[in-house]
A and B are shown apart, each in its own frame.
Chain A
């Protein structure tokens, strides 16, 4: 009996690990969007994975895993950003360049990534979430479902984001 339970648990964990591995890019992309420091980013990725595992028993197989995963990853990352802002209220650290945008031998790519992170750094928590989803080419309906806003709102917000980034790039 105990053996059967263990097997069911192991199968459950294995199923989770397979899905997590298939969609691991979401974890690292979201963590990278909300954390500049590599160690902090690893900790956030770990927190996201832990939250995913905690919520996995309630996951509905009929729904898209990536949508479910995005919700948890973004909620964890936004809460993490809030906690960090609270801790660093009186001590804003110097801005560090993201290690993912570090020199890689392709100066054009590096410059593009630095621009990307410069844009991300200027956005608040919700706009960052919107940008991540947009850049990851999620449909408007998907974005609306993940964020909990209407599709019209998603379209309006993306339009505003484009305008804002255009203005900032012109400066």
Chain B
């Protein structure tokens, strides 16, 4: 059987589909046309949630920076929160624009390339959004302790704060090292762990898809 022989099979399929699709088409019409369940759609709503979360952090950051403007360490925590909230909003907004630009009526390879780029950027921005939490939790904890219990941990338990900062910096450094290691040695134990937990596999997959698009485009 050759490619041309498949044409007669295709015509047989055409006839069967023609018979079956009348009924299927009726069912299709009865279902709602506004229900798109694509991954991009889920990503879209995920970004809306991210932006709302960013709004909440930004609001908390602004309120805290006004309230603690005379206390340098609490002001620093507030500004950290504020900057992180603003970053979430900006990254979420940029992603929404990118998602909106994916027009399925464009040529197949253009769209598949765009989606692979989008997925790669999303994974990288997800990792970037996650990393600051090594220190951000402490900033929130310090602000909340002051706000709800009136305890300034920086003054009452400086050893705890300094140890948490040190642990946070160490965690941050290890995460960055593991991320780099997953690139340079994906088969190592660290690389495999990172792949399972953080999504380096998704990153590699997005890269593989871009490569697939590129190689399909080349006629050579």
CB nearest to B3 among chain A residues = A162
Given known A-B contacts A17-B29, A113-B13, A169-B2, A51 and B36 have beta carbons under 8 A apart: yes
Residues on A with C-beta less than 8 A from B20 are 28, 100
Query: How many Å lie between the Cα of A147 and that of B109 in the bound state?
Result: 6
B-chain residues with CB within 8 Å of residue A47 when the two chains form the complex:
36-38
Residue among B3, B13, B219 making CB contact with A100, cutoff 8 Å: B13
Residues of A within 8 A of B108 (CB): 71, 74-75, 78, 126, 129, 146-148
Interface residues on A, range: 35 or more
What chain B residues lie within 8 Å of A42 (beta carbons)? 24, 27
Q: Which positions 103-142 of chain A face chain B at CB distance < 8 Å?
A: 104, 109, 112-113, 115-116, 119, 124-126, 129, 131, 134-137
Do residues A71 and B104 form an inter-chain contact, with CB atoms below 8 A?
Answer: yes
- What residues on B are CB-neighbors of A20 within 8 Å? 25
Chain A residues whose C-beta falls within 8 Å of the C-beta of B111 in the assembled complex: 71, 75
Shortest Cβ distance from residue B153 to the other chain A in the assembled complex, whole angstroms:
43
Cross-chain contact A79 with B9 (CB below 8 angstroms): no
Where chain B touches its partner, the secondary structure class is: helix
Distance in angstroms between the alpha carbons of A112 and B82 in the assembled complex: 64
CB distance from B213 to the nearest CB of A (A): 8
- Asked if B3 and A165 sit within 8 Å, CB to CB, the answer is yes
Decide if B216 is an interface residue (CB 8 Å cutoff): yes
Chain B interface residue count, Cβ-Cβ cutoff 8 angstroms: 53
**Does A149 contact B13, Cβ atoms closer than 8 Å?**
no
Residues of B within 8 A of A150 (CB): 219
Bound-complex Cα distance A27 to B212 (A): 25
Q: Is B144 an interface residue (CB 8 A)?
A: no
A166-B2 contact in complex given A51-B104, A79-B115, C-beta closer than 8 Å: yes
Instruction: Kindly state whether residue B35 has any CB partner on chain A within 8 Å.
Output: yes
Q: Which of B81-124 contact A (CB under 8 A)?
A: 103-112, 115
